[in-house]
Chain A
Amino acid sequence: MNVVSKMEDLRMFAPWVRIIKGENRREQVNVLLRTLGVPILAFALFLGIWDSAAKSVVTSLGQVPGPSQVLEQAKGLWQEYQAESVKEDKFYERQEKRNAKKLAANPDAKVKWREYRGRTTYPQQILTSLYTVFTGFLLATLIAVPLGILTGLSQTLNNAMNPIIQIFKPVSPLAWLPIVTMVVSAVYVSDDPMFDKSFVTSAITVMLCCMWPTLINTAVGVSSISPDLLNVAKVLRLSWWSKIIKVVLPSAIPMIFTGMRLSLGVGWMVLIAAEMLAQNPGLGKFVWDEFQNGSSNSLGRIMVAVLTIGFIGFLLDWMMLQLQKYFSWDKSAVNR
């Protein structure tokens, strides 16, 4: 089965191989045009429209950036990152030398090791966002899967949970955030906090918004287990726990992964808004800061962030799809 899916992944190369081999050239070129040519053409068309539309709108921050300006800003961000890395390396080098000297003079001397505190660079912000979204998503999964299993098993609990789910599912992260912020400030007090408050707030907001698809799908997956399979479990006198582990959980796995994939998508979308308001140093804060800065580069940089967010969202979805394919016994549940 794995072999089959691997073959599918390789399918996009097949026309190239055939063209090189000289099999049926004309038809293969057509296939290539359809599968590769059309998307490329569409993208080029999109860039063209963007470019001409951008030129005709002038904001208080100057002209709306077209594709070339955005590329320029992306390069700028990359250069900033590299310059910052050089600085960081130098800082550590200096510190190392200084401390080595001190120790050489006096082996008992107390030396200080400081961490480099420079400007946060764009790649760091991306990593912060990913770290935050995965924390929120993990928390959501840890709550939603067990709760979904219980909800799916018991009709009573299902009836009890249904209104709660229906009410909280559509709530926007912007509505949650003030409450979460207040609760976190009140509850999460420590002199030496392991995590920043802004991180905790963002992660919890992501969790609150993205647990619902997993919860709903898990419950549906569990409640639609074939009664025959449950009868087999009864005939075998499986204990409650082994019934869950050996029968219920594996039956529901395809649905659980469908839900998790949706959840991660929602989580990523919600994260940006949460970071903006909570000032978690990720992509959301980047966008917010650029907006507040209001330099002539800002719109271009925000556009870079927009594209980055979109691309990472796409990668996250692709990653979840691969996981889903790997873990699901029911290949028909895996749909694009």
Chain B
Amino acid sequence: MSAHLNIDHVSMEFDTPSGKFCALENVNLKIKKGEFVSLIGHSGCGKSTVLNIIAGLYQATKGGVVLDGKEVSEPGPERAVVFQNHSLFPWLSAYENVELAVKQVFKGKKSKAEMKEWIEYNLELVHMSHALHKKPDEISGGMKQRVGIARALAMEPTVLLMDEPFGALDALTRSHLQDSLMEIQRDLKNTVVMITHDVDEAVLLSDRIVMMSNGPAAGVGEILDVALPRPRHRLELADDPMYNKYRADVLRFLHERHAKPDVPASSKVA
């Protein structure tokens, strides 16, 4: 059986003023339906590039991405993206931000009333019902990120892509949002690819953690299966030996074995 989402031998070269820059080389990853995968790696290794290629915002120089048997060639709402800095439209309220997406995606498929219900349902999922009509600059960073997630979920994506969705938030807000995300994930069982810098976040949320080697010419360094039973609770996990072992594995990778073993020197900056 072929994978739900197949990132197949993807390489990426950027044209820069000082010549070609090879950011990714031969990235291979197969993701199952409903799986929660995190990408972790050092800053600048190419995580966002991988995500943007899946989203269709970048075109891979070599290889490609296949979703449900179809090659990805352009961005689309079935691969909704949650960006790091919320990227809500500042002139629209929370409700209107989600509405813009819903109207575009479900044009002619849902009636007005159904759309309204669907918008409210998604904002309810992220616990934002109390601030439907507030503008982004009237709500906190965590709330903005919640609305961003609601907007992505409302597109009913096949794959939900998140680029450090909680990176800009304080620790407490972040853990609240992680809990919300686990809750939503339990109900909706989306396929999720999430980038993170946070080891705890990766272990807590993921089914698999993809650890990327350092760039240039970064690739998949190691993949860790997180076999912790769900639902997971952060407090109980704190003393769980398995949890701590996974954490230690990721940390060890990041601090010791991060370099790609066999990068030909020529491909670094060609």
Contact = CB atoms under 8 A, between A and B. Distances in A.
Q: Tell me the dominant secondary structure on chain A's binding face.
A: helix
A234 interface: yes
Given A226-B87, A229-B87, A229-B89, A236 B57 contact: no
B75 A234 contact: yes
A246 interface: yes
B101 interface: yes
A330 B91 CA distance: 8
Contacts of A330: 90
Q: Tell me the dominant secondary structure on chain B's binding face.
A: loop
A231 interface: yes
Interface stretch (B32-40, B78-86, B112-120): B78-86
B87 A246 contact: no
A323 to B, nearest CB: 16
B55 interface: yes
A236 B83 contact: no
A162 B134 CA distance: 39
Interface string A227-257: 0110110111110001000110011010000
B91 A234 contact: no
A134 interface: no
A329 interface: yes
Contact of A246 (B80, B83, B100): B100
A294 B169 CA distance: 73
A329 B135 contact: yes
Contact of A250 (B77, B91, B104): B91
Contacts of B74: 234, 237
Nearest to A236: B104
B77 A236 contact: yes
A237 B76 contact: yes
B57 A231 contact: yes
Nearest to A239: B104
Contact of A231 (B75, B100, B105, B155): B75
A228 B90 CA distance: 12
A329 B90 contact: yes
B163 to A, nearest CB: 10
A247 B77 contact: no
A99 B107 CA distance: 64
Given A246-B100, A329-B135, A235 B81 contact: yes
Contacts of B90: 329-330
Contacts of A234: 56-57, 74-75
Interface string B64-82: 0000000000111101110
A242 B103 CA distance: 12
B77 A228 contact: no
Interface centre among A229, A235, A242 (most CB of B within 10 A): A235
B120 to A, nearest CB: 19
A269 B77 CA distance: 50
A65 B95 CA distance: 63
Nearest to A328: B91
Contacts of B80: 235
Given A235-B76, A236-B77, A228 B87 contact: yes
6 contacts: A231-B55, A231-B75, A231-B81, A232-B87, A235-B55, A235-B80
Interface of B: 55-57, 74-77, 79-81, 83, 85, 87, 89-91, 100-101, 104-105, 135, 155
Given A234-B74, A235-B80, A329-B135, 6 more contacts: A231-B81, A232-B81, A235-B77, A236-B155, A237-B104, A250-B91
